[in-house]
Amino acid sequence: MRKFLFTLAATLFAGVAVAQNSAVYKAQALEQKQDIAGAINVLNEALANPKTTKQAQIYNMLGENYAKLFNNELNCAVRQMPFDTAKFCTLLDQMIESYTKSHEYDIAPDKKGKVNPKFEQANKARLMFMLDYYNYAAQFNYQNHNIDKAVEYFDKYLQLPKNPVFAQAETDSIYAAKQAAYSQTRFNLAYLAFNQKNWDKAIAFAEDALQDTIGTRDLLLIKMNSQLQKGDSAAWLKTLTDAVTRTEDEGFMQNLLYHYVSKNDVKSAENMGNEMVAANPGSKAAWYMKGCVELNLKKDYPAAQESFTKALSIDPDYIEANTNIAYAYINQIVAESYSGKFKYVGTGKVVPMKDKALYEKELATVKSYYQKALPHMQKVRELKPEEPRKWAYTLQMIYENLQMKAEKAEIDEIIKSL
């Protein structure tokens, strides 16, 4: 950064405006004597005079003189010498304001309605060189723990490409060329506002920053926590739902499910799941959330199996969907046992000889569910061999009920070590 700053400092302030009236002559004479403050006073007095007609030139000269003072602070910053941060910022503001006003007067129609700009390219070149200076000003203030000023100048850095001196195509080009830097700045603004407990600004900055791809999860957390601090639970829920689809983050999913489970709000949860898959049919997270609602709240295990199957068709290695579809098959066994579907299996009743065929049929049905659950839990083990707590106990149950003795014995040993 220091080398870049030095390059700008060496090239930014060359050039002298052409004299066009007495104020200009006076200012130039003072400049030659190195009386920059005196030149600035003369130019400001001329601008305060309603008879002055050369505002475009005078504002351009004013910007050049402020630039010479700014250059002193800039060179100190480049060399890591002590400098006045407040003066650095004030002079920067004065430069940009002067070049901007010079541009505005320069493109204003004359009495005949004609536009004959003379300083447009010079003003544009100056501001183009200065694009990063607001970013430096923000960082200097942040280093000095002046957070309010850091926020102010980060925001100015973001807005400078929209200065009227730039055409829309130039503005777009600047944002594209410096995309990473502007994305980071948007994140910085949201983070700083949140730390200052300025919830409205934190939300606004986070929403702006979420147009980028940097720090998406953290920005969503900033936005949600700010909404909670404001007591806006409806907005928080909307953001959390959006976060699930946008990031497919397991933590967001768990929080969203917990919200509905804790309230036992089956209808709202069902609507949420249906809306998510309708809006994003190609999202594994949307189908997973729908399946979780069906599994945990509606207790509709066949429907849950169908939804998890949809999620797995999008991502066969989706660990959570593999885990939960296995649970859906196992829970269906329990549900059907309690429903009275089985006369003997799971009831503890003695099976008379005449009903042996019925018992075998019921047992085959139960085993079919375990057989459907088995490959999914084996998949979880394959994907997470280092986390046996995710799969060992469920696999043990499945192996036992499928009478897979060797496999169960292996799992028994793994569980002993947990």
Average pLDDT over residues 20-49: 88
Tokens of 177: 């060329």
Per-residue pLDDT of 319-374, as tens digits, reads: 999 999 999 999 998 888 777 787 767 766 776 777 778 878 878 888 999 999 99
What percent of the chain is modeled with pLDDT above 70? 94
pLDDT at 307 over 60: yes
Summary mean pLDDT of the chain = 90
Single-letter amino acid code for the residue at 167 = A
DSSP for 245-262? HHH--HHHHHHHHHHHHH
Q: If pLDDT is split at 50, 70 and 90, which confidence band does 20 have?
A: very low
pLDDT band at 15 (very low <50, low <70, confident <90, very high): very low
| The pLDDT value given to residue 348 | 67
CB 15, CB 64: distance < 8 Å: yes
Asked whether residue 416 carries a pLDDT value surpassing 80, the answer given is: yes
Does residue 140 carry a pLDDT above 90?
yes
* Residue bearing the bigger pLDDT, 25 or 272: 272
Confidence of residue 18 (pLDDT cuts 50, 70, 90): very low
At 351 the pLDDT is 66
pLDDT, mean of residues 251-275:
93
Higher-confidence residue of 248 and 315: namely 315
Q: What is the DSSP string of 342-379?
A: -SSTTT-----GGGHHHHHHHHHHHHHHHHHHHHHHHH
Give me the residue label for tokens 């544009």: 124
Matching residue, tokens 């200052």? 196
Over range 268-287, report the average pLDDT.
94
- What would the pLDDT profile of 142-165 be if each residue is shown by its tens digit? 999 999 999 999 999 999 999 999
Question: How much is the average pLDDT of 281-292?
Answer: 94
- Its pTM stands at 0.74
Short-list 362, 365, 372, 416, CA closest to 398: 372
Mean pLDDT for 27-32 is: 90
Q: Which helix (H) or strand (E) holds 203?
A: helix 199-209
160-213 pLDDT, tens digit per residue, is 999 999 999 999 999 999 999 999 999 999 999 999 999 999 999 999 999 887
Tokens of 189: 């603004």
pLDDT score recorded for residue 138: 94
Average pLDDT in the 252-280 region? Answer: 93
Quick one: pLDDT at residue 4? 31
Two structure tokens written together for 161: 């490409």
Q: Is 45 left (phi over 0), alpha (psi -120 to 50) or beta?
A: alpha
Mean pLDDT of 70-85: 89
pLDDT in tens, 88-120: 999 999 999 999 999 999 999 988 888 889 999
Pair 105, 97: CB distance under 8 Å:
no
> How high is the pLDDT of residue 7?
36
Contact 52, 46 (CB under 8 A): yes
Residue with tokens 């050049």: 64
pLDDT for 121 = 94
User: Which pLDDT score is estimated for 214?
Assistant: 80
